[in-house]
Amino acid sequence: MYIVGTYTVAVLLSIVTMLCWGSWPNTQKLVSKNWRFELFYWDYVLGILIAALLFAFSLGSSGTDGRSFMADLFQADWQNMFSAALGGAIFNLGNILFVAAIALAGMSVAFPVGAGIGLILGVLINYVAAPVGNAFYLFAGVALVAAAILLSAKAQRNLQKEEKNVSVKGLVLSIVAGVLFGFFYRFIGSSMTGDFRIPEAGKMEPYAAVVCFASGVLLSNFLFNTIMMKKPVAGQPVSYAMYFKGSQRDHLMGILGGLIWGTGLVLSILSTERAGFAISFGLGQGNAMIAAIWGVFIWREFARAPKGTNRLLYGMFACYIAGIIMLIVSRLY
């Protein structure tokens, strides 16, 4: 199977992960006017599984390093397969709750709370489990990225013409989603072998672990998204019959969104052997900057923002860039 050879390549793959995780929402935005998110989400989770399988049967089944995908999957202990699948279920629940939080409390509340908790908790948990990198530089980078998220939240709030009451339910959902985001990556990590070239018996290598993760996402969706369809936080309930009335474009956009996010996950997991789980996860969580770039320069979401908002956006980008640099440097000292 393909294995990352150097830290430089691991960093590049983690940056691509950041691009993928920050860009997939555009696919939903392109169909959001006529296609409910709950329906889009079925194709999205299917796209994640397709991405995992494509990598598994290509890069994961070629070369002489480590175990091939099928051999790796068949030798894996069920506890490790379950751990990776549980990580998928945890991510899926967090992602759905996060979307609900945005609907209830808005981006200015949900994003800094959910994304901020996920980033800080995720890096901390993964660093304690696998302490790779200089702690000072690593957590200084985390602090800078967290500051960027807060600046982004302030810029979003500036777009509001009138001050709105914050939904307590939305705030609680944001906190729960952030905690779940902080934990899901570790469940994948605990299912994997530490050395990809000389893998430990019973543990999985990246490709098998991601396939189990994606399977957990899809299976859990029958519970979590079904509840969301019947009890949506906004709008009327939707039925399964409505899913089959979607256009080909609607379904393709959902699958494409999942393919993009799933590709980012595979590259992130591949980079963990050289970069460490904390750094790989932290760099991937720079996705908020990518999403902000799309919003500012492509979708022109801040075109009518009041005076002073641009300074917040410039500060946000500066903090993100500085934070990412600190995360990268942390592995070099």
**pLDDT above 70: percentage of residues in the chain:** 96
Helix, strand and coil in the chain, % to nearest 5: 75, 0, 25
Query: Is 246 among the domain residues?
Result: yes
Write the pLDDT tens digit of every residue in 270-314.
Answer: 999 999 999 999 998 878 778 778 877 777 767 777 888 889 889
pLDDT band at 22 (very low <50, low <70, confident <90, very high): confident
- Under 8 Å CB-to-CB from 210, ≥6 apart: which residues? 52, 55, 56, 84, 188, 262, 265, 266, 269
Domain total in the chain:
1
DSSP 3-state of 204: strand
Q: Structural domain of residue 195, as residue ranges?
A: 7-332
Query: Is 117 among the domain residues?
Result: yes
pLDDT for residue 127 is more than 60: yes
- DSSP letter at 231 equals S
The CA distance from 68 to 85, in Å, is 20
Write the pLDDT tens digit of every residue in 65-116.
Answer: 999 999 999 999 999 999 999 999 999 999 999 888 877 776 666 777 787 8
Query: Is 160 among the domain residues?
Result: yes
Look at residue 67 in the predicted model and tell me its pLDDT.
95
Query: Is 238 among the domain residues?
Result: yes
- If one compares 101 and 224, the residue with the highest pLDDT of the two is 224
Query: Is 306 among the domain residues?
Result: yes
Query: Is 215 among the domain residues?
Result: yes
- DSSP letter at 34 equals T
- Under 8 Å CB-to-CB from 195, ≥6 apart: which residues? 273
Query: Is 67 among the domain residues?
Result: yes
Considering only CA atoms, give the Rg of the chain: 19
What is the pTM for the complete model shown? 0.92
Give me the mean pLDDT over the 316-332 stretch.
91
List the one residue out of 162, 156, 164 whose CA is nearest residue 296: 156
Query: Is 116 among the domain residues?
Result: yes
The CA distance from 324 to 207, in Å, is 26
Give me the mean pLDDT over the 175-184 stretch.
94
Contact 133, 297 (CB under 8 A): no
